Structure 1
Amino acid sequence: MRALELFRLSARSLRGHKLRSALTVIGIVIGIAAVVTFVTLGASLKADVVGEIDQSTANNIYVLSTPEGDQGFPNRPQAVFTDNDIETLRGVEGVRQVVPQGTVAISTLTLGNQTIARQQVTATTPEAFERATFQDGRAFEAGAAEVVINGQARTVFDRNLSVGDSLTVGLRGNGTATLTVVGVVDRTGSQLPFQSFAGQPRFYVPADRYYETTVQSPTLPGNPRQQAYPQVTVVADPATLTSTQERVAAALNGTDAEQLQPAGYALSARTSGDIADNLADLVDRLTRFVTGLALISLVVGAIGIANIMLVSVTERTREIGIMKSVGGGRRDILLLFLVEAAMLGALGALIAIPVGLAGGWVATAYADIALTLAPGWFAVAIGVGVLVGVVAGIYPAWRAARVDPIDALRYE
């Protein structure tokens, strides 16, 4: 039987049972559309993650103490980097700046007559803003009663925060501090790459005035108490980033941080690229997992195709007998039903692609990230639809091919 004739007969059969065929196609559409939606969301999230790590942080080395084996999002970094360690890192060849960063525990923020609850603000140094882009104002000065906010922090009160506003901070222990807003920044140069993903309000204060976390230095004579930070950002010469990273990692040996960190923790010196690769790999794994769950719905679609094809075989028993009596072979009958099943799968896949893209657009809009397409998956989706149809139609087609023509002609 010619291929064109096979497709003509298959299409005629499907048109003859429009409602049943449509319901079967819906099962395939749901399964493949879910896959396309999650793949599109994963591709968009991955592009957003990589896009956040732009050239402004390409020469940053992030020094942290985290649980051993923690290669993704830094988990519970410990405040172990003392002022002595920071001076050690400043002396490493290829290092341009060393910017510490920690948190100050607070209870409230007050603007005018409005007070909101907040647990912490970020303590850092003016060097953190040297490569930052300011929407308004400037960086705070060392030791000053000043605060820099990001764009999201402007809207935490009923009226927008502006440069020049006085912000009262409720410190832990019932103390208060009045700070003047001096700048609105997009993000600091010392920020970890993923810290801006969630778009959280951030408040930055001078560490030398408000940061109070201290430890005893185990390497200095007399073990004096020094400020200790959970994160240190090393700004390196871009031309020697890799070698500087290696020297920074080597310089951490024998430091206060190495001796102060808890058991099971390890010091690490990661570049933006390292963190980007780890985060991209994490997103890929999550995407594969969620997509795997979505594939379960394809099983339902495959069962629907198998069911309609089995019903079709029963309804067309007499037609099969006539085809065999006029010279149709088992191969022709087998191909006829396989083509019908494949057409159902392909039709479902073609409809599922725009439906899945619409779902991806809604998901990325909700997550507030740019839509990024994964066109390679569109071809895969069509292929999967056809494959599901063929696999689901194998048994019904085999059963139709084995129908005895004499019994089929007697069938009523």
Structure 2
Amino acid sequence: MVKLAQAINIALGSIRSAKLRSFLTTLGIIIGVAAVIVNISLGVSFSQNFEEELGAAGSNFIVIFTQKNNVFHDNQLEIVRTTTGVEAVSPVNEQIGIVRYQSTERSATIDGVTPEYEEVGNLFMEEGQFLDSQDRFVAVIGTDVAYEKFNRNISVKNFINVSINNIEGGVSTQTFRVKGIIKDPDAAFIAQEVDPRFRVFIPLDVMQEMQGVEDIGGFFIKAESVEAIESVSDDIDERLARSVGVPSRDIDNEDAKPYVVFTELDILEQLNQLSGALTSILTGVALISLAVGSIGIVNIMLVTVTERTKEIGILKSLGYTYRDILTLFIVEAAIIGLLGGIFGVIVGAVASYFVDGFLEVPFVFPPYLILLGFGIAMIVGIVSGIYPARKAAKMDPVESLRYE
């Protein structure tokens, strides 16, 4: 029976005798493995990037809002504030309004909030200060409102007019002095629900006066930790449901509640699903190139079988069995796959580094990708070599020796 070391030596000799052809065949494996690694690495990088950027937009946040009147009041705010695991909470009344600066009017999201919003939203000031409990007709604005919406930039101490619809069907307008401009979050992607760049923040009590209401539209909550988000969210949801009159049998029925709850984890899950779907599609395309590479291995092995017909006849006449010949050719195919895996992993890692840098996402290369690359390459090599190896092993020794 042929020894493995002997089979490897024979296989390496065959590969060296046709260097260019072997390289071109291996190239198909290299490209396929590299493409799979790049796509999976990119998906992992995007997932980590989403986590980091959501953290920049708000720490461990839970958002609760209602589109109905007279659902939330101070009682519900106290329920949220006293729930175990809540680190900070700001009530929020939000409405699309009109902002006028000098002679230009633009639409913007107007948020009535309390000073706690600065902590919950993980906000940092580029200029000025955020709202405090003594403020009345002052506003804090995002950078898009300050620098993009109007013909001239808005600065701290400038005055803007804010108009919103009130509950009686009219329009309420007030003049606000700009107290601060919020620094852009250090992230390329921000969930729209918590992005401060397009918002104008004013004191909640002033917002309620302008709207002509006493109720609260929702809550922006910070949990103590990421691990606590789910349990805190569930506790708040259950307590709020009871306080607003949702029957016990309907507490788990989202359609029965007059409000909506979503968390940082919910947004992250949606983003990861999108990233995962895109990664699956791209990986599928990469696997097609691996299939092409496997066809290349089959072709080169079939050519090798034909070229080595007389050699196969000599080996069989020397006592090499069906299994020995099968082993020789499968080992050769496995070596081609292994070489493709080694260089594919290297190319994939380097390419991932540059692709992640180009897309401005953190470079993440999990160690399991190395094993995955080798595994895929070896499987492709061995599976692709089985048919040519069987063809060689079945050759009649007499006919092989006569082959020219």
CA-atom RMSD in angstroms = 4.3
Counterpart Cα distance in 1 of 2:377 and 2:146: 49
Question: Is 2:139–2:180's contact at 8 Å kept on the other side of the alignment?
Answer: yes
Partner of 1:137: 128
Where 1:204 maps in the other structure, the secondary structure is strand
Q: Residues 100 and 162 of structure 2 are in contact (CA less than 8 Å); yes or no, is this contact kept in structure 1?
A: yes
Asked whether the 8 Å contact 1:144–1:209 carries over to 2, the reply is yes
Counterpart amino acid of residue 251 in structure 1: R
- 1:148 aligns with 141
Deviation at 1:316, TM superposition (A): 1.3
Residue of 299, 302, 306 corresponding to 1:307: 299
Q: In structure 2, the residue corresponding to 1:13 is in which secondary structure?
A: helix
- Structure 1 SS opposite 2:362: coil
Equivalence for 1:384: 376
Shift of 1:144: 2.6
Q: Tell me if 1:336 matches 2:328.
A: yes
* Pairing partner for 1:251 from 210, 235, 239: 239
Is the Cα contact below 8 Å between 2:95 and 2:109 reproduced in 1? yes
| 1:48 Cα deviation after fit | 2.2
Query: What is residue 4 of structure 1 aligned with on the other side?
Result: 5
Task: Indicate the residue corresponding to 1:121 in structure 2.
Answer: 109
The answer to whether the 8 Å contact 1:59/1:236 transfers is yes
The CA distance in 2 between the partners of 1:81 and 1:22, in whole Å, is 71
TM-score (norm 2): 0.75
Counterpart amino acid of 1:180? V
SS of 2:241 mapped into structure 1: coil
Larger deviation, residues 334-343 vs 80-89: 80-89
Residue type matched to 1:7 in 2?
A: I
Alignment-mate amino acid for residue 350 of structure 1: I
Instruction: Find the partner of 1:205 among 178, 201, 204.
Output: 201
- Secondary structure of 2:373's match? helix
Paired residue secondary structure (1:61): strand
Question: After the TM superposition, which residues 5-404 of structure 1 pair with which residues of structure 2 at under 5 Å, given as runs?
Answer: 5-52=6-53, 54=55, 60-64=61-65, 79-80=67-68, 84-85=72-73, 87-92=75-80, 93-94=82-83, 97-101=88-92, 104-105=95-96, 120-121=108-109, 123-125=111-113, 126-130=115-119, 132-140=123-131, 142-149=135-142, 156=148, 164=156, 166=158, 180=178, 182-185=180-183, 187=185, 195=191, 201-206=197-202, 209=206, 229=217, 232-235=219-222, 244-253=232-241, 267-273=259-265, 276=268, 279-280=271-272, 283-284=275-276, 286-404=278-396
Question: In the TM superposition, what is the alpha-carbon distance from 1:121 to its structure 2 partner?
Answer: 3.2
Distance 1:7 1:280, change over 3 A: same
What is the CA deviation profile of residues 384-408 of structure 1, one whole-angstrom value per residue up to 9, with x for unaligned ones?
Answer: 1011000000000000000111101
| TM-score of the pair, normalised by structure 1 | 0.74
Structure 1 residues 397 and 199: CA distance shift in structure 2, 3 A: farther
Q: Is the 8 A contact 2:130 2:180 kept in 1?
A: yes
Query: How far, CA to CA, are the matches of 1:197 and 1:303 in structure 2?
Result: 50
Structure 1 residue 8, shift from structure 2 partner: 1.5
Q: Distance in 2 between matches of 1:313 and 1:158?
A: 75
Report the CA distance between 1:36 and its aligned residue. Answer: 0.5
Count of aligned pairs:
379
Structure 1: unaligned runs, 5 residues or longer: 65-77, 215-223
Q: Secondary structure at the match of 2:131?
A: coil
1:202 Cα deviation from its structure 2 partner: 3.5
- The alpha-carbon deviation at position 282 of structure 1 amounts to 5.6
What do the CA deviations read for 1:197-220 (whole angstroms, capped 9, x no partner)? 998944332155568997xxxxxx
Conserved? CA contact 1:137–1:163, under 8 Å:
no
| Equivalent residue letter for 2:239 | A
1 CA distance for matches of 2:213 and 2:399?
97
Identity over the aligned pairs, expressed in percent? 29
Q: 1:182 deviation in Å?
A: 1.1
Q: CA deviation at 1:409?
A: 0.8
Contact 2:145/2:199, CA 8 A, preserved across alignment: yes
Report the CA distance shift for 1:91/1:265 in structure 2 as closer, same or farther (over 3 A): closer
Q: Secondary structure at the match of 1:84?
A: coil
Quote the Cα distance in structure 1 between the aligned partners of 2:147 and 2:238. Answer: 44
Alpha-carbon distance in 2 for matches of 1:198, 1:374: 31
User: How far 1:304 sits from its partner (Å)?
Assistant: 1.0
The alpha-carbon deviation at position 303 of structure 1 amounts to 1.0
Flag the 1:31–1:272 CA change in 2: closer, same or farther, 3 A: same
Report if the CA contact (8 A) 2:96-2:164 is conserved.
yes
Task: List runs of 5+ in structure 2 lacking aligned partners.
Answer: 166-170, 248-253
CA distance in 2: counterparts of 1:354 and 1:198, whole angstroms: 40
